[in-house]
Amino acid sequence: MAHSDEELINVAKDVREKAYAPYSDFKVGAAVEAEDGTIYTGCNVESASYGLTVCAERVAIWKGISRGEKKFGRIAVVVDTEELTPPCGVCRQIIWEFCGNVPVILANLHGKSETIMMGELLPRAFDSKFLK
Ligand code: THU
């Protein structure tokens, strides 16, 4: 754990500014820490063909995977909502795949944050152990 939760939240806040969200106007930033401490960031990227939209969490994880990372630790998700916004169902599955039962740090722009374990967000998850 090379970075503090605050550092992870701050880089997620910064990348949130880069979100391409002209349709929903709902900007999301995510930052995930790889095992060696490298941080990968992602923002949501929407499409006029709405269903092609990719969430911030997956963009961050795909960036790390494409750089050769295999496993990540904590992930921070920043949204400008009063009630802290958790990852969508699809992202929960992907976070479970590449991060496992890690702390998920939810934060907003006003200094509010909360940490929830992935096992709580995705109980009884389907994963590779069922494929053996
Ligand atoms: N979004 C994320 O980036 N992450 C989530 O976990 C929830 C939803 C994005 C997708 C879309 O661009 C916008 O938020 C509204 O759904």
- Where would I find the beta strands (DSSP E) of 1-132? 28-34, 39-43, 72-79, 103-107, 113-117
Q: What is the pTM of this model?
A: 0.97
Kindly state if the Cβ of 26 falls inside 6 Å of ligand 1: yes
Q: Strand 113-117 and strand 103-107: pairing? A: antiparallel
**Model confidence pLDDT, tens digit, residues 94-120:** 999 999 999 999 999 999 999 999 999
Q: Residue with the nearest Cα to atom 13 of ligand 1? A: 26
Q: Considering 57, 82, 83, 120, which one is annotated as catalytic?
A: 57
**Model confidence pLDDT, tens digit, residues 4-62:** 999 999 999 999 999 999 999 999 999 999 999 999 999 999 999 999 999 999 999 99
Q: Within a 10 A sphere around the Cβ of 11, how many other Cβ atoms?
A: 21
How far is 50 from 68, CA to CA, in rounded Å? 29
Whether 57 is catalytic: yes
